[in-house]
Amino acid sequence: MRLLTKIFEFISKRNVIQVTDRLKISNSAKISGCKLFGNIEISENVKIAGGVQIHSESKKVTIGRYSAINGPNTDIHCYINSVRIGAFTSIARNVNIQEFNHNYTGISTYLINKNIFGKSKSLDIHSKGEIIIGNDVWIGAQCVILSGAKIGNGAIIAANSVVVGDIPAYAIAAGTPAKVLKFRFDRETIDILESMAWWEWSIEKIIENEDLFNLKKINSCSLNSYLQND
């Protein structure tokens, strides 16, 4: 049993990566037990682990710096349009980010052009547009993000939600389809956070401002006070 456990642990940490000139992975990224195929760009200090699969057959999947994507069973697929994930974003296990789907406007939803007629799969699928996931977003376990979805900076998507449209910045959304339950902060505070765009700061500046990230109360007054004293 111990030997089988060790073998499983060894296999689970191995990566399957299709190496092409369309694949760009930062030297500081940490990738373990993942499958990467196609047009993918992974920025510095990104962490992807535990059985994540990324397939980009045509358009690009981009993942911003310091973002963390966890498996098992977390998949990102794009074909017609791109998938863009910002910096410092956290994606939990069992999340499906699906940029395209079966075309249901014809006589059949089956991939008949690909599997029967030997033609391009593009004839059998459709998309509502690229998927954009902002910076500092938290996506809970077992969510589904579908084509055309746009999730704003700082938003939280509750576990088991399906996102099909726009989720504003700093909103907390849940359900199928996901609806905004509330906002994390008031409008003035959100505007300050958006204008700060701390996710674009150098890591040195972030470290210098450690106190900012540990403020007990986040509102426009506390942020303005901190920024004035900085």
Catalytic residues: 102
Give the span between the Cα atoms of 67 and 209, in whole angstroms: 19
Give the span between the Cα atoms of 194 and 213, in whole angstroms: 15
Please answer whether residues 107 and 153 qualify as being in contact, where contact means their C-beta atoms are separated by less than 8 angstroms.
Answer: no
- End-to-end Cα, the chain, rounded Å: 57
Please answer whether residues 102 and 111 qualify as being in contact, where contact means their C-beta atoms are separated by less than 8 angstroms.
Answer: yes
52-131-128 Cα angle (round to 5): 125
Burial class (CB in 10 A: 0-12, 13-18, 19+), 53: middle
Can you tell me which residue has the tokens 């579908």?
Answer: 146
